[in-house]
Amino acid sequence: MDYYVEIKEQLLNNEINRRVKDYSKNVGDLNTYYNVGKMLNEAGNKYGDGIIKEYSLKLTIEIGKGYSTRSLNYMRRFYLVIENGVELHDQLTWSHYRELISLKDINEINYYLKICEEQNLSKRILRDKIKSQEYQRLDENTKHKLIAKEETSVIDFVKNPILIKNSNNYNEISEIILKKLILEDISGFLKELGNNFCYIDNEYKIKLGNFYNYIDLLLYNIEFNCYVVVELKVTPLMKSHIGQIQVYMNYIDNNLRKINQNRTIGIIICKKDNKFIIEYCSDKRIISREYIVV
């Protein structure tokens, strides 16, 4: 096979199709770059990696800009990751894949591809999620569920640690300041918890006997049809925190929850986690997550 002639023909045809059939250019790009990547890989194996630089020089002269050595290496890498199990999403662009194909973990790439498609993420937002190491901050059990394509729950996508922006550069973080930082960037905070969270109130007042108590944050998750109680602690997790949030969850279940809604979830956000306390907590609806102020 004359790899160069085949590669040039594929790229020229794609250039034409991108101008004529704008609606399908994503599919055309991905198919073309997969095929070109396959041929580049075969040519590299046969003639050595230097052949890619040679092809790049010739393509730039004969077709134009856009086919640097780096770009051709991206196509080669694209082919390799698809062959190794990365899913092909026609709705996503080549720009999305370019952000991801340098990652080494195939499961991590598939995670980001899936949320890009589901949440219609731009390249910039995708880059921010990768930079924040969102996938690495998922629980290991959640990662296993995603790989096995098992059913997930509302607490599976709560990150650990949760990143909270310190926009005013506070030196000391009290519970009042922590709550203030969260409320200043409530949209970003809800995304740290996962998908489809809605803010209801902070310092939500409830009456227990003759005394009033205040829930730090009361949220609702649309996808899982349940209330979510969030308690903020600037100390390490303690046993008393479990008892406190259980009382609040039971109150919401008995006084707010409708018959068609699922039971309330509890999230404790603390300075330092204590896995032994959670391990011996019988209520699996309660989770704890550490926070980092950034």
Q: What digits encode the pLDDT tens for the residues 131-163?
A: 999 999 999 999 999 999 999 999 999 999 999
pLDDT of 24 reads 61
Q: What digits encode the pLDDT tens for the residues 161-183?
A: 999 999 888 989 999 999 999 99
| DSSP H or E stretch at residue 174 | none
Which of helix, strand or coil describes residue 150? Answer: coil
Structure tokens at 203: 């310092």
CB 70 within 8 A of CB 49: no
Structure tokens at 136: 């690495």
| Cα distance between residue 128 and residue 253, in whole Å | 36
CB 96 within 8 A of CB 116: yes
CA nearest neighbour of 290 among 155, 160, 181, 183: 160
Residues 6+ apart with CB under 8 A from 143: 107, 135
Helices 50-62 and 3-20, interaxial angle, to 10°?
50
Query: What integer best gives the mean pLDDT of the chain?
Result: 93
Sign of CA dihedral 57, 59, 62, 65: negative
- Whether the pTM exceeds 0.75: the reply is yes
Q: What digits encode the pLDDT tens for the residues 7-35?
A: 998 898 887 776 655 556 678 899 999 99
What is the percent of the chain with per-residue pLDDT over 70, rounded to a whole number? 97
pLDDT of 226 reads 97
pLDDT for 255 beyond 60: yes
> Tokens 């092809």 belong to which residue?
55
> Would strands 265-270 and 226-232 be described as parallel, antiparallel, or unpaired?
parallel
Q: Which residues of 249-277 are buried (b: 16+ CB within 10 A; e: fewer)?
A: bebbbeeebeeeeeebbbbbbbeebeeeb
The three-point CA angle 275-277-282 to 5° equals 110
The three-point CA angle 177-181-226 to 5° equals 110
| Cα distance between residue 41 and residue 72, in whole Å | 10
Q: Which residues of 183-192 are buried (b: 16+ CB within 10 A; e: fewer)?
A: eeeeeebbbb
Domains of the chain as residue ranges with CATH: 3-131 (no CATH), 151-293 (3.40.1350.10)
Residues 6+ apart with CB under 8 A from 254: none
pLDDT of 13 reads 85
- The residue type of 113 is L
Q: What digits encode the pLDDT tens for the residues 104-126?
A: 999 999 999 999 999 999 999 99
